[in-house]
Amino acid sequence: MTGTADGRSAEETAPFDSRIAPEDGPSDEPALPGPDRVVEGEREMASGTDLAADVAALQTQFDVVRYLRRLAEDHGFRHFIICLIPPIEVAKLSETSIVSNLPKEMLASFDESGLLQHSAGFRRLRSTTTPFCLSQQEWTRETTRAAEAAQHMAVSARHQVEQVAYFPVHNADGTRAAMILMGEQRAIPMAEMMELQMVAIYLYNRLTEIGAFWRESDVALSEREIQCLNWTAAGKTSAEIAGILGLSEHTVNHYLNHVTKKLNAVNRTQAVVKALRRGLIS
């Protein structure tokens, strides 16, 4: 339930390249594997082996977007987003989006209302690893900014969003994210929820492998920050790094704390992992 106050599109404000779904239209590209199988007009859930093979065949974030578009349509949803679950101080969903087809009006409404910190869905995502659904009424009732929530719901209703399904995931370094699907109100069977949860896990891990969101242009480290991270990766303590670089231990801690915040990491170890994956250190 979520472009911007200055009128820019979601593509222009997404923090990573190609996070927003490309427009539909004719394409000469080969067909991608589908998220399910169709038997006599009815959707049949793919086996775990089929799902793993289908997702592994996705080569770019655009492939993931097309896959998600089909997945959403096949399951009766209109909109989707895969995003990081940010710490409470992050204020905008657009800053955490990885891939999405959310209408820019919805995303702008969500961000301008400051709902990321108050959303019932994101509050639950921070405390559970189990998929769940919220109806429009439940989301509005449980979101702590009632007036802003009601205004955003009016925007969402114009885009036929009556219900949101949340699927929390994480990768090997502990970074948490979620696949969120939005559409009309309906009862979703538990088996379907669990199937979609498995899809979310495979897709998020595939995005990590593709590197779709590890190439952030807005993260730049200073020479000292890179040096401190490299020595931390080598197993050195702050005191040891201070001796090597001719700095005070306090200054080394300052550099490491600063770079940890830049990388949205929970500690130095995670900062090193993220920096390595993004090619910021070697």
Residue with tokens 């659904």: 133
Contact 65, 215 (CB under 8 A): no
- Show the CA angle centred on residue 32, arms to residues 64 and 188, nearest 5°: 65
Pairing outcome for strands 163-170 and 176-183: antiparallel
pLDDT value at position 179?
Answer: 98
pLDDT value at position 154?
Answer: 93
Q: Is the pLDDT of residue 12 over 60?
A: no
Average pLDDT for 195-219: 79
**Cα separation values, 213 from 38, 97, 152, Å:** 32, 9, 27
User: Which of 87-101, 106-120, 210-224 has the least mean pLDDT?
Assistant: 210-224
Average pLDDT for 2-27: 40
Residues with Cβ < 8 Å from 255, sequence gap 6 or more?
A: 222, 224, 225, 228
Structure tokens at 240: 């040891």
CATH number of this structure's domain 10-210: 3.30.450.80
Sign of CA dihedral 70, 73, 79, 83: negative
pLDDT digits 0-9 by tens, 224-260:
999 999 999 999 999 999 999 999 999 999 999 999 9
Q: Please report, for the chain, the start and end positions of each structural domain, with discontinuous segments joined by +.
A: 10-210, 223-277
What percentage of the chain reaches a pLDDT higher than 70?
A: 80
The rounded Cα 95 to chain-centroid distance in angstroms is 9
**Cα separation values, 98 from 82, 143, 208, 216, 231, Å:** 6, 24, 10, 11, 30
Average pLDDT for 206-229: 76
pLDDT value at position 214?
Answer: 52
Note the residue count of the chain. Answer: 282
Q: Is the pLDDT of residue 270 over 80?
A: yes
Residues with Cβ < 8 Å from 259, sequence gap 6 or more?
A: 221, 225, 228, 229, 271, 275
The model's pTM is: 0.64
Sheet holding 77-84, edge to edge: 97-100, 77-84, 176-183, 163-170, 132-135
The CA distance from 90 to 179, in Å, is 18
Q: What is the DSSP string of 153-198?
A: HHHHHHTT--EEEEEEEE-TT--EEEEEEEES--PPPHHHHHHHHH
pLDDT value at position 110?
Answer: 95
pLDDT value at position 230?
Answer: 92
Contact 116, 93 (CB under 8 A): yes
* Closest listed residue to residue 86, CA positions, set 265, 209, 227, 255: 265
Contact 101, 80 (CB under 8 A): yes
Query: Rounded to the nearest 5°, which phi and psi values hold at 250?
Result: -60, -40
Q: Give yes or no on whether 10-210 and 223-277 have one common fold.
A: no
pLDDT digits 0-9 by tens, 32-84:
556 654 443 445 555 667 889 999 999 888 899 999 999 999 999 999 999 99
The CA distance from 152 to 140, in Å, is 9
* Domain covering 223-277: architecture: Orthogonal Bundle (1.10)
DSSP secondary structure code for residue 227 in this structure: H
pLDDT digits 0-9 by tens, 113-172:
999 989 999 999 999 999 999 999 999 999 988 899 999 999 999 999 999 999 999 987
pLDDT digits 0-9 by tens, 18-29:
344 444 444 444
| Helix segments in the chain, DSSP class H | 10-13, 48-56, 61-74, 104-112, 120-125, 136-142, 146-158, 190-210, 223-233, 238-245, 249-262, 268-277
Average pLDDT for 184-211: 93
Structure tokens at 15: 């923090």
